[in-house]
A and B are shown apart, each in its own frame.
Chain A
Amino acid sequence: MLNNITIGQYFPAKSVIHRADPRIKILVTLLLIVTLFMAGNFTTLLLCGAFTILTVLLTKIPLKMYLKTLKAIWMILFFTAVLNIFYSTGEGDPLFKWKFISIYSEGIERAVFIAIRILLLLIISSALTYTTSPSELTDAIERLLKPLKFIGLGGAVHIFAMMMSIALRFIPTLVEETDKIMSAQKARGADMESGGLLKRAKALIPIMVPLLSSSVRRATDLAEAMECRCYNGGKGRTKLKQLHLGIRDWLILFFAALLLAAVIVLNTLPVI
């Protein structure tokens, strides 16, 4: 039952985007998010949309996977849109008026605009996690944050990255364990599916307690095993996989920057 978590999943494939440097991918994703918030009219939003669709096609991951993440957030999308319709006021006459509710054409326009923006944000960030393995991601974050060592945070950056990669490594292990504990409690007659919210929350306690105690035991074991393998907190550590920035990576960054520039320029033009 816990096996259908798609957020943050990685789908191995051999695409240009998969092979791109993870550092560049993170930077480009951040750049695109900024661009999306800069986009002030439909022309620029469409430009961002075109860029997003091109990226999605380049990842060679079936569109079905992207639609799956949409399924998880359509409620948020729907409510943001509805709230925007009701709360916007326009200059002209309302399109629809009933007691205190009035809908203006500007409201509908804004709702569509914001819905598209959220949609694109989600697709762009999914494209990043779908094409980059967790270890590549943490590695890239560690390297991107390296300049922090100049303010004395070098060790903290390594520890943070190590914690993140261990957390990611243990997600499947703990999911499996949760499933086992749940079956064991059900076999003892625990009821987890009926009753109100409070009752169901209470039913989780007999699952959380053994899960927590076994996690602590695992952590102790892991610490011992890491010590055995000469881990001493990242001092003098080398890496099996070296990251290399190629021409392709710079090109991707260049196109993303170009998009941001285009959006800024087009924003100043009158709305079509």
Chain B
Amino acid sequence: MDNIIELNNVVFDYSDENDNPVTVLNGITLNIERGSFTAVLGHNGSGKSTMAKLFNALEHPSSGTVIVNGMDTADQKYEFDIRKTVGIVFQNPDNQIVASIVEEDVAFGPENLGIEPKEIRKRVDEALKAVDMYEYRDHAPFKLSGGQKQRIAIAGILAMQPECIVLDEPTAMLDPKGRREVIETVKRLNKEKGMTVVLITHFMDEAAIADRVVVMDDGKFILDGTPVEVFGHVKELKEVGLDVPQPTELVGLLKDGGIDIETDIIDVDGCVNALMKALNLEEK
């Protein structure tokens, strides 16, 4: 198996202002496979954002190791190459846009890498086309919607041509339309361009499109598997303050009520089919 990111028994703790130790990550081990789409679920304070920052050497573990493409993030000399390999998109689009023109912002990363102007032009155009924002290339970012700004932030990372893109709650500040735009873009990057994606979120329906879902609580992983496997654990999810997707919850409740119905459902279409089967209706 080819892993792009490996976390080995990682602990992350710090002392708060009263010198009390606070443990954010409590000995986690995780492998992210190249080309995979992993969703990390967890409520606020579960340690998921801290984990994201470990992925590209913005933070370093207190103990344990983080290995990106065979490079240890603790080693200062790999910092540049690690950040070239793993790019992070953050929650607030306003706070990660550097320039006042869209294409200049997308060019910021490649400019830092010291790439030839002609090649930067090519990368910027490609990145903007990949997120469907090419026609806005000479606009001012502050006039765009939240979803559009977040897609520009994604393009800014894509222009550096990383192998893996980590998104830390990219839709938390967006309206439903913006959320859809961003999630569609992320899905396309994984399916069409084969990019490794780690999506950190607390929205169940966003996690449902991933190949693998990891659930975090209190600095530990409590569930790990395909969306169908993970969402089957309704009770465990509810215990850590997370919901299951509505279709999953519905079939779960029907089953509990004594109705013979399939329970490995994560989306509306699957739920409709299961209901029709249970009601002995044929699909039209």
Contacts and interface: CB of A to CB of B under 8 A. Distances in A.
Size category, B interface = 35 or more
Size category, A interface = 20 to 34
B58 A238 contact: no
Interface in B105-122: 107-117, 120-121
Interface string B121-165: 100100000000000000010100000000001001100100000
A217 B95 CA distance: 9
B92 interface: yes
Interface string A231-272: 110001111111000000000000000000000000000000
A230 interface: yes
Given A169-B97, A169-B98, A229 B156 contact: yes
A222 B92 CA distance: 10
A83 interface: no
A55 B95 CA distance: 38
Contact of B114 (A133, A135, A238, A241): A238
Contact of A237 (B58, B80, B101, B114): B114
Interface of B is mostly: helix
B31 interface: no
Contacts of A222: 95-96, 98
Contacts, number: 96
Interface in A142-174: 165-166, 168-169, 172-173
A237 B112 contact: yes
Contacts of B95: 217-218, 221-222, 225
A54 interface: no
Given A218-B95, A240-B120, A230 B109 contact: yes
Interface of A: 133-135, 165-166, 168-169, 172-173, 176, 217-218, 221-222, 224-232, 236-242
10 contacts: A165-B99, A172-B142, A218-B92, A221-B90, A224-B53, A225-B96, A228-B83, A230-B80, A230-B160, A240-B104
Interface of B: 53, 56, 58, 80, 83-84, 87-88, 90, 92, 94-101, 103-104, 107-117, 120-121, 124, 140, 142, 153, 156-157, 160
